Amino acid sequence: MVTILAIETSCDDTSVAIVNDKKICSNVVASQNELHSHYGGIVPEVASREHLLHINYCIEKSLQIAKLNWNEIDGIAATVAPGLVGALIIGETAAKTLSMIHDKPFLGIHHLEGHIYANYLCKTDLEPPFLCLLVSGGHTSLIHVKDYEFYEELGKTRDDAAGEAFDKVARLLDLGYPGGPIIDKLATTGNPKKFNLPEGRISLPQGGYHPYDSSFSGLKTAVLRLVEKFKKEQNSLLPVADIAASFQETIVRSLTKKTIKCAIDHNIDRIAIGGGVAANSGLRNHLTKAAKKHNLKFYCPPFDLCTDNAAMIACAAANHLAKGRRSSWSLQVQSRLKISETMKLYQ
Ligand code: KG4
Ligand code: ZN
């Protein structure tokens, strides 16, 4: 069993974790949410500067909490793709430097592979093959996890990611950033059937609709029109909770339908989820019920392992290192990289 120290700085959270195989020894997360909330979204330059300010403290703290020293660490990992390049570079440079100083293997990790690995960190019997619905601020994909490192993307969003839609709708409703958790909470007090909003569908040239691909930009525009209508016609208080609940219901219904259909069509009997939107209570409830109805097994990581964290990155790195893989020190960060290309990161 290998022990990995991993660094995650792909977006706006600085995180450092130590994981022994699938056991979390420490998982330190320094969130930048409050800072970016002033701008209503992530400002990449600000995110990079913050990573730089917090990374050394997070590394020290993760060793302290795990009660481990450098001799007890077998490998050092960092998220290298996909993500904000300026932010990724901070974690990558720190990890490579530590790997040189302490003479340990360096492993570059695919961020989305990390989100999938969050599912292995929770003492479950989950093993590939399974279908993973990956829903974050930057991605919405249905991924067939064929083995621990072999992936096929079966569905994706054609425009906004699910988390992006939550964040944009929250901004329209003046709710703050990040929008997902705020809408999730507010939705519990609203009527999800109050407004009939459109589920985005992708037309196919031969007729009909794509069974697994999503589109959320139309839904976002429908919420915008609704808000404008209320402001213009009624000039009264916006029914914010009902709009939040109806929006969440629409997005969750669409994701659930596509996930279940994809699993059944591909004869996959296990479904997992990952990414920040996987923390959404509506999505977890819908998927739990739908999976039960169709006799599929459903797995979901605890809330704190859905959003960005380095424990999931360390868990993925532990698998790669245990199988004798390592990355070159000349490996560069990449803003985009398909999950099916994960193995390109290793020598
Ligand atoms: O995975 P993540 O932490 O970062 C990325 O890799 O993008 O996901 C962040 C996204 C944000 O868009 C945030 O609004 C959304 O996840 N999110 C949620 C919830 N918690 C976080 N969306 C819906 N419901 C939630 N409870
Ligand atoms: Zn993420």
Q: pLDDT tens digits, residue range 3-22?
A: 999 999 999 999 999 999 99
Measured CA to CA, the distance from residue 90 to residue 50 in angstroms comes to 10
CA of residue 22 to ligand 1 center, whole Å: 23
Q: 11: Cβ below 6 Å to ligand 1?
A: yes
Burial 196-209 (b: 16+ CB within 10 A, else e): ebebbebeeeeeee
Measured CA to CA, the distance from residue 306 to residue 278 in angstroms comes to 6
Cβ atoms within 10 Å of 153's Cβ, excluding its own? 16
pLDDT at residue 99, as a whole number: 98
Residue 62 token pair:
């993760």
Q: 114: Cβ below 6 Å to ligand 1?
A: no
Residue 52 token pair:
């730089």
Q: pLDDT tens digits, residue range 272-328?
A: 999 999 999 999 999 999 999 999 999 999 999 999 999 999 999 999 999 999 999
Cβ atoms within 10 Å of 9's Cβ, excluding its own? 35
Length of the chain: 347
Q: Whose CA is nearest to atom 7 of ligand 1?
A: 137
pLDDT at residue 83, as a whole number: 97
Domain segments of the chain as ranges = 3-117+307-345, 127-305
pLDDT at residue 6, as a whole number: 99
Measured CA to CA, the distance from residue 69 to residue 61 in angstroms comes to 12
Q: What angle do CA 313, 316, 321 make, to 5 degrees?
A: 120
Q: Is 281 helix (H, G, I), strand (E, B) or coil?
A: helix
Task: Report the pLDDT averaged over residues 108-125.
Answer: 94
Q: What is the DSSP letter of 203?
A: B
pLDDT at residue 235, as a whole number: 63
- Main-chain dihedrals φ then ψ at residue 204, nearest 5 degrees: -100, 145
Residues 6+ apart with CB under 8 A from 339: 110, 112, 113, 141, 143, 151, 153
Q: pLDDT tens digits, residue range 326-342?
A: 999 999 999 999 999 99
- Main-chain dihedrals φ then ψ at residue 111, nearest 5 degrees: -55, -45
pLDDT at residue 233, as a whole number: 80
Kindly report the pTM of this predicted structure.
0.96
pLDDT at 104 > cutoff 70: yes
Point out the ligand nearest to the CA of residue 216: 1
- Mean pLDDT for all residues in the chain: 96
Residues in the annotated binding site for substrate: 134-138, 167, 180, 184, 280
* 248 burial via Cβ count (<10 Å: 0-12, 13-18, 19+): buried
Q: Which CATH class is domain 127-305?
A: alpha beta
Measured CA to CA, the distance from residue 135 to residue 123 in angstroms comes to 22
pLDDT at 135 > cutoff 80: yes
CA of residue 207 to ligand 2 center, whole Å: 34
Nearest to 184 by CA among 281, 273, 253: 281
Contact 173, 244 (CB under 8 A): yes
Fold of 3-117+307-345: Nucleotidyltransferase; domain 5 (3.30.420)
- Fold identical between 3-117+307-345 and 127-305? yes
pLDDT at 236 > cutoff 70: no
Q: pLDDT tens digits, residue range 31-89?
A: 998 888 888 889 999 999 999 999 999 999 999 999 999 999 999 999 999 999 999 99
Measured CA to CA, the distance from residue 19 to residue 1 in angstroms comes to 10
